[in-house]
């Protein structure tokens, strides 16, 4: 749909603050029209990476940022034509909803008639037409973030950048807005980079996910592959729950699996034995903690309607190909 | 204590506090229009003292006004961008600079004035002009402009607003005038109140810096208290209050007008 979508390329982008290396030299390509999610714990360098792409932060000498075949490394943010959505909305309190959306067009000198048409279009896109003249402090958090999204999109940015946009919202609102953002990104087919520490958000929104740890990119792949074939225990642990099911003779963890990949039976049809130490009801499912004789009990997810109880003896085994293989 | 008793107590305390603050001023103003203060109001009401003060000291009235307005202008031009710079400065430096800014306030005015005389006193053209006093006033009032502005900037998370503005293509100048200034308006107005009142009432620094030809109102006031009848000094106080009140009312009106303009804008749009 959007043939003008831009490729974003980082070449050897590093960043240090004083003596702290916030970002190791990073090579990264964001394909035209895709949504790349930067995922990791706080301090992993994901926000620094986003700020380098935006131009709010410059990378250390030697690093380069390219939008298509244009080197934008030396350009400040106002010359890069990016749209940004921030965690705390960063809407201008002195302007109302429509004026906020119009701001970028105004400072860029777009004529009034075109500006107003574009604002209407953007407000319709995020379903806020009725609130056009509302002042910012009379909006809910979800509405604020939709205004911020409309504002970022109004000036037709080359790249859309999200800095934990849902982190300040409560759980229900977060889920709804996540869906809306996802739909919008698909529809617009704009190149987008999305920073989050929430793995569910990353899975739902990312065409690809780049997992970062301590200033390094540790794996970049589709959400399915990240989940099913994590490159390291860190990645496996960060994007979901994992169990250690085998140890070597020294007690070091050897084999891991996901909680949904354990086959469980109340009789002894499977080879391995254990007993349930606790069960947690989660609504649609229940999570059982099963002592299998290792240091940590394993977690097993089962349908909520099945009846399991603490103290019950069980037999279990791994589903086929369920053991996680770490390449790193 | 029951509610009624508590209310009475609060009313009493408030009244006493208000009287404590107002009575000396009212007494002084009354003395300024009394024929003979030692006899009291019985001696009759007169404007002759006011007229006498105006005849002798009208120039101090105008000079104080001019200095206060220039002082406001300069603290606005320096203070707002300075607060902005301070906001963006790295943490530990900003804290140091903020401390240094409060120095002229903590230091006795006389010491500040002495420093100004040592530094600039050798330039006789400057030493003889009222600009010399203006320097002292700017030095003294600048922190009072910067602090409220800085506080408001921190409260609205100005760095983030600016980043948003920049991402939308606004240049440094555009950001300053379309985002920074409009969003710290309340801080600027609060600062303006402080600067005007402090400049008009400033005595310590001014007393050191003035010449017989560059007296401000408070210096003239001290002069008249020291050398003339009590009634004359009191009439002077009256004039002082007549000067500062319209200034403050004007600033207040500006504030209301701006608030109304904003809400009207929102209503019209809706």
pLDDT of residue B231: 78
pTM: 0.80
Q: Among A73-77, A293-297, A309-313, B250-254, which stretch is predicted with the lowest mean pLDDT?
A: B250-254
Contact A155 B160 (CB under 8 A): no
Lowest mean pLDDT among A227-236, A270-279, B90-99, B235-244: B90-99
User: For residue B27, is it within any domain?
Assistant: no
Average pLDDT, chain A: 91
The answer to whether residue B5 is domain-embedded is no
> Looking at the complex, does the CB of residue B171 fall below 8 Å from at least one CB of chain A?
yes
C-alpha–C-alpha distance, residues B246 and B240, integer Å: 11
A171 and A282 belong to one structural domain? no
- Across chain B, what does the average pLDDT equal? 84
Per-residue model confidence (pLDDT) at position A231: 92
Do both A204 and A60 map to the same domain? yes
Query: Would residue A51 count as lying in a domain?
Result: yes
Would B101 be classed as within a structural domain? Answer: yes
**Which residues does chain A have within 8 Å of residue B166's beta carbon, measured at their own beta carbons?**
56, 76-78
Instruction: Note whether B254 and B186 are within 8 A (CB).
Output: no
Q: Is A133 close to B182, i.e. CB distance below 8 A?
A: no
Q: Which residues of A touch B174 (CB under 8 A)?
A: 107
Assigned token pair, B168 = 């939308």
**What is the distance in angstroms between the Cα of B221 and the nearest Cα belonging to chain A?**
44
Residues 6+ apart with CB under 8 A from A262: A243, A290, A298, A300, A316, A317, A318, A319, A322
Is residue A124 domain-shared with residue A171, that is, in the same domain? yes
Domain boundary among A179, A205, A234: A234
Residue B177 lies in a domain: yes
CB contact under 8 A, A84 and B163: yes
pLDDT digits (tens, 9 = 90+) for A149-163: 999 999 899 999 999
Mean pLDDT of the B98-116 span? 80
Provide the number of structural domains found in chain B.
1
Contact B164 A82 (CB under 8 A): no
In a domain? residue B22 = no
B7 in a domain, yes or no? no
Q: What is the mean pLDDT of residues A238-248?
A: 89
φ/ψ region of A99 (left if φ > 0, alpha if ψ in -120 to 50, else beta) reads: alpha
| Range(s) of the domain holding residue A92 | 8-234
Whether residue A2 is contained in a domain is answered as no
pLDDT score recorded for residue A235: 94
Q: Which pLDDT does position B63 carry in this prediction?
A: 87
Most B-contacting residue of A55, A57, A72, A78 (CB-CB within 10 A), to test interface: A78
Q: What local confidence, expressed as pLDDT, does residue B13 receive?
A: 93
Top residue of A87, A92, A164 to mutate, by most chain B CBs within 10 Å, is A92
Query: What integer pLDDT is reported at residue B265 of this predicted model?
Result: 56
Show residues of chain B in contact with A91, CB under 8 Å. 164
Proportion of chain B above pLDDT 90, given as a percent: 23
Burial class (CB in 10 A: 0-12, 13-18, 19+), B238: buried
Structural domain contains residue B268: no
Q: Which segment, A59-63, B52-56, B123-127, is predicted with the most confidence on average?
A: A59-63
The parent domain of residue B97 ranges over: 50-261
Contacts of A111 (CB under 8 A, 6+ apart): none
ipTM: 0.85
- How many residues in total does chain A contain? 328
Question: What does the pLDDT read at residue B270?
Answer: 45
Residue A14 has pLDDT above 80, yes or no: yes
Phi/psi at A222 (nearest 5 deg)? -70, 160
Q: Is position B56 within any domain?
A: yes
Question: What pLDDT digit, counting tens, does each position of A199-220 carry?
Answer: 999 999 999 999 999 999 999 9
- Same domain flag for A258 and A217: no
């Amino acid at each position: 749909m959007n043939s003008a979508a831009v490729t974003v390329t980082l070449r050897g982008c590093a960043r240090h603050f004083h003596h702290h290396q916030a970002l190791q030299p990073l090579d990264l390509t964001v394909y035209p029209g895709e949504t790349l999610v930067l995922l990791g714990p706080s301090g992993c360098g994901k926000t620094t990476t986003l700020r380098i792409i935006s131009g709010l932060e410059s990378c250390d000498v030697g690093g380069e940022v390219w939008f298509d075949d244009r080197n934008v490394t030396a350009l400040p943010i106002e010359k890069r034509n990016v749209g940004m959505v921030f965690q705390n909305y960063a809407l201008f309190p002195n302007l109302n909803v429509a004026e906020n959306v119009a701001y970028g067009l105004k400072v860029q000198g777009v004529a009034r008639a075109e500006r107003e048409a574009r604002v209407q279009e953007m407000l319709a896109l995020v379903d806020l037409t009725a609130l056009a003249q509302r002042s910012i402090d009379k909006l809910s958090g979800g509405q604020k973030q939709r205004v911020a999204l409309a504002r970022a999109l109004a000036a037709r940015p080359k790249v859309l950048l999200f800095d934990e946009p849902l982190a300040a919202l409560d759980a229900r609102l977060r889920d709804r807005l996540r869906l809306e953002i996802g739909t919008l990104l698909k529809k617009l087919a704009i190149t987008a980079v999305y920073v989050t520490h929430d793995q569910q958000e990353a899975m739902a929104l990312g065409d690809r996910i780049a997992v970062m740890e301590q200033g390094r990119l540790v794996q970049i792949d589709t959400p399915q592959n990240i989940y099913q074939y994590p490159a390291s225990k860190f990645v496996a642990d960060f994007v979901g729950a994992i169990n250690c099911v085998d140890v070597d003779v020294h007690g070091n963890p050897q084999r891991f699996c996901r909680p949904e990949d354990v086959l469980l039976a109340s009789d002894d049809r499977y080879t391995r034995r254990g007993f349930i130490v606790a069960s947690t009801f989660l609504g649609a499912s229940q999570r059982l903690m099963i002592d299998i004789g290792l240091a940590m009990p394993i977690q097993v997810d089962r349908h909520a309607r099945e009846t399991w109880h603490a103290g019950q003896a069980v037999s279990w085994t791994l589903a086929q190909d369920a053991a996680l293989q770490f390449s790193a | 204590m029951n509610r009624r008793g508590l209310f009475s107590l609060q009313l009493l305390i408030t009244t006493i506090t208000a009287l404590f603050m107002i009575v000396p001023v009212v007494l002084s103003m009354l003395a300024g229009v009394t024929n003979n203060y030692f006899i009291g109001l019985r001696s009759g009401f007169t404007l002759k003292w006011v007229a006498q003060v105006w005849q002798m000291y009208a120039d101090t009235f105008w000079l104080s006004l001019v200095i206060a307005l220039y002082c406001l202008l300069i603290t606005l031009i320096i203070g707002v961008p300075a607060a902005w710079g301070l906001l963006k400065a790295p943490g530990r430096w900003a804290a140091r600079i903020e401390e240094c800014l409060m120095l002229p306030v903590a230091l006795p005015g006389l010491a500040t004035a002495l420093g100004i005389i040592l530094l600039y006193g050798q330039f006789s053209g400057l030493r003889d002009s009222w600009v010399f006093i203006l320097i002292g006033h700017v030095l003294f009032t600048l922190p009072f402009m910067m602090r409220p502005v800085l506080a408001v900037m921190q409260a609205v998370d100005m760095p983030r607003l600016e980043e948003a503005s920049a991402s939308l293509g606004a240049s440094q100048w555009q950001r300053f005038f379309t985002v920074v200034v409009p969003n710290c308006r309340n801080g600027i107005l609060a600062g303006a109140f402080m600067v005007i009142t402090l400049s008009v009432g400033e005595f310590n620094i001014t007393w050191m810096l003035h010449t017989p030809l560059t007296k401000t109102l408070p210096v003239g006031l001290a002069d008249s208290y020291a050398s003339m009848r009590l009634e004359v000094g009191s009439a002077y106080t009256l004039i002082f209050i007549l000067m500062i009140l319209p200034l403050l009312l004007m600033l207040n009106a500006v504030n209301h007008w701006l608030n109304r303009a904003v809400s009207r804008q929102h209503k019209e749009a809706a």
